[in-house]
Structure 1
């Protein structure tokens, strides 16, 4: 895997220190609207998806061009379990999951990095392509957390959530 991709995989979660700074557990669990996720639910989704993503990467390495359906957290029973964790437990599990993911991907030989899995919307992607997708998806949720946290700190309605 390219070093810049590995560096992002290793370091991108560090943004959470800034994103969560000064927020209470109650604020982190507060939904901005009844049909929108809280910061905690966004974190639970990202944490759970790390495990799902690792399993998918192992499947790509083990099988010839596996086809994956779109991951929908609300349809995943494992996601609900993550949403129940208090923030310290959630962040601890998130770190543990990320360490396992980083360890696996950093040790893959180059011939396995070019193996392909099929995404329903984005088509065939190599392990490195899937990793880029994973990081972009995570960054999108970090941006959502930034907006939610900012609104909570200023006691305003978050703008531009979708």
Structure 2
């Protein structure tokens, strides 16, 4: 779990490094939209993680990411504010993670549409979520440079 928590804590720096010096292009999901999405996802997920630790088998609710991107005018939102919000959300969890017991890592939350997940599984998903979007950002950057 220690490696998982370290990578979780580095999420902001990894995102910041991925976009350094790159101007986003217009495409299906732009890099800008991806960064806003990651933060919106983090807002929801931070709440879910805390619910799992604080409540007995809480119900967890997913959100429709495409509806958020399409209806919340992500293109108008300030990417820098969202990156800072992501950073603050991740750092706000650090004390909790530093003091997490093995019993707490096995606490369970229940998605009505996906089933039961332990805190550890939810954390693994948070780390994987950033990894997947970093890879997506790299693909977009490569496609942009290949088409120049």
Fold similarity call, TM over 0.5? yes
- Please give the alpha-carbon distance, in whole angstroms, between the structure 1 residues aligned to 2:93 and 2:68: 19
Q: What is the CA distance between 1:81 and its match in structure 2? A: 7.0
Q: What is the CA distance between 1:37 and its match in structure 2? A: 1.1
Residue 15 of structure 2 corresponds to residue 16 of structure 1: yes
Structure 1: runs of 5+ lacking an equivalent: 157-162
- Please give the alpha-carbon distance, in whole angstroms, between the structure 1 residues aligned to 2:145 and 2:64: 29
What is the aligned partner in structure 2 of residue 31 from structure 1?
A: 26
**3-state secondary structure, aligned to 1:117:** strand
- 2:105 pairs with one of 101, 110, 113: 113
Contact 1:82 1:90 in 2 (8 A): no
**3-state secondary structure, aligned to 2:5:** helix
What is the aligned partner in structure 2 of residue 133 from structure 1?
A: 125
TM-score by length of 2: 0.81
From the superposition, tell whether residues 136 and 148 of structure 1 become closer, same or farther in structure 2 (CA, over 3 Å). same
Relative contact order: is structure 1 or structure 2 higher (C-alpha 8 Å, sep ≥ 6)? 2
Q: How does 1:85-124 map to 2 (within 5 A)?
A: 85-119=77-111, 120-121=113-114, 123-124=115-116
Structure 2: runs of 5+ lacking an equivalent: none
Q: What is the CA distance between 1:125 and its match in structure 2? A: 1.6
**3-state secondary structure, aligned to 1:140:** helix
What is the aligned partner in structure 2 of residue 5 from structure 1?
A: 4
What is the aligned partner in structure 1 of residue 42 from structure 2?
A: 50
Task: For residues 68-126 of structure 1, give each alpha carbon's deviation from its aligned partner in whole angstroms, at most 9, with x where no partner exists.
Answer: 2333223459x8376533332232222122212334333333332211012333x3221
Q: What is the CA distance between 1:54 and its match in structure 2? A: 0.9
TM-score by length of 1: 0.75
- Please give the alpha-carbon distance, in whole angstroms, between the structure 1 residues aligned to 2:92 and 2:80: 19
What is the aligned partner in structure 2 of residue 84 from structure 1?
A: 76
From the superposition, tell whether residues 76 and 18 of structure 1 become closer, same or farther in structure 2 (CA, over 3 Å). closer
Contact 1:9 1:102 in 2 (8 A): no
**3-state secondary structure, aligned to 2:13:** helix
**For the aligned residues, what is the CA RMSD?**
2.5
